[in-house]
Amino acid sequence: MSKAPEALWRAVIEYDGTDYYGFQVQESVPTVQGTVEGVLEKLSGGHVRIAGAGRTDAGVHASGQVISFSLGWRKSAEELQKAMNALLPEDIVVLVLELAPPGFHPRFSAVSRSYEYRILNTRLRSPLLARYSAHVSEPLDVESMQSAAEVVIGRHDFRSFGQPPQGDNSVRTVYEAHWEKSGKFLVFRIKADAFLRKMVRRMVGTFVEVGLGVRKPDGMAELVREPNPALAAPPAPPQGLRLVKVEYPPELEFSSVGKEE
């Protein structure tokens, strides 16, 4: 039987990034991309390269990472999703899988990405929550942190907080940025057209200094107005960060086909 013609597929995947050296494939270490590619190669019998919407760092999680890949597959999208999930490790799952529209690219077609960062703000750490949140034992002033967060909304040069993945353009547009208290957690949510490397984690690290009273809220405005990476805080720990959602133009948005309930 002749091989099935290749088609472009796209998927939404969720993963626990604890045991991976980030999303992007690297030699000799486990990565999310490398693990998914290995599964697709078992199913196809040949090399398959996937593209991702974002290159999450080592230890960072995702509930809405988007990938695409070319694959010859004669059966349904539902059967491909089941086959992939049967072979993937427990810390990666395919939530949605469908044929991609012409010209789709998970990164270049995206119009926004949303991240969430969770801080367990309690006196004692929690071993049961440590994989998915950062712990800060001192009380944090969430109102001051929110005042600082409002400063980053808009189109700015965010060179203080990260490096571009390619080239030297560090200007990005932040659509939403806010802190809220949720039980024992402080949760930061941010949505932008794109992000620099470690941008969210360095922002969070700086916001925490504001919340501790080490840095004034208006100090964030200075970092945005006059970018200086040396003056921003070190990155917050990776385990508190999660890529939540990638959005596309209406004509390229995902359908609900194959979505796990």
Task: Map residue 21 onto helix, strand or coil.
Answer: coil
Q: What distance in Å separates the CA atoms of residue 108 and residue 248, rounded to the nearest whole number? A: 10
CA angle 207, 208, 214 (to 5 degrees): 95
57 is catalytic: yes
* Residue 230 zone, left/alpha/beta (φ > 0; ψ -120 to 50; rest): alpha
CA angle 242, 237, 20 (to 5 degrees): 60
Cβ pair 31, 19 in contact under 8 A: no
Q: Which of 19, 57, 157, 168 is catalytic?
A: 57
Q: Which helix (H) or strand (E) holds 140?
A: none
User: Which residues does the annotation mark as catalytic?
Assistant: 57
